[in-house]
Amino acid sequence: MCKVGLLGNKIGMTQIFDPTGNIIPVTIVKAGPCIVTQIKTTLTDGYNAIQIGYFNVSSKSLSQPKLGHLQKSNIQPLKHLKEFRVNNPSDFTVGQIIDLSSFTEGQLINITGKSSGKGFSGLQKRHKFSRGPMTHGSKNHRLPGSIGMGTTPGRVLPGKRMAGQLGNKMAHIKKLEIIQINNEENILVIKGSIPGKSGNLISIQAAE
């Protein structure tokens, strides 16, 4: 079962020095605080989970179903909602605040976020294809070449690696180390890089 995590935003990257003088590349993340907006149990929903909300917004920016869902529990309008599977939903209450107090320095975490979109890309950049010969009259340098399948089956099969959108997909980074925690400002300093650009929404969970 998944442990309860947090939602947050990527602020950016920088570097810090450890006590021995080594440079550590780090990512600064604003994580939480999040609010428990719904509790799901096996009896009512078929599985145990809690739903958390993050980032206060105006009620005008939410759809009526989402706004009504939050108003039903007397919770302020929140832009992002996410579920986490839990073993004991009775340990949580609607309206409970979840913050960085459940994380410690040196802990390993998993981060999920949408990678940066890089637009329409060709085969060499998107799939690491090799190019064609550049000399001896070759006119096929970066072209895809034949994609047909012959008479049987006579069509291009789904999943064929071709040119298309690069990036802008959900990426999962496992076992990143927490270097520093600032509970007052809800700031995490994480070793290494995480998906997406500055301001990107990310999900943080403790690594198993």
Domains parsed from the chain with CATH numbers: 6-118+170-206 (2.40.30.10), 119-166 (no CATH)
Write out the two tokens for 51: 């739903």
Helix-then-strand count for the chain, H and E: 3, 12
- Per-residue pLDDT reduced to its tens digit, 66-102: 999 988 888 889 999 999 998 888 889 998 999 888 8
CA dihedral 135, 140, 141, 144 (to 10 degrees): -160
Alpha-carbon span 8 to 170, nearest angstrom: 15
Rg of the chain over Cα atoms, rounded to whole angstroms, equals 23
- Per-residue pLDDT reduced to its tens digit, 105-156: 999 999 999 999 999 999 999 999 999 999 999 999 999 988 888 888 889 9
Tell me the whole-structure pTM to 2 decimals: 0.80
5, 7, 51, 152, 206 from 110: Cα distances, Å: 9, 12, 18, 45, 6
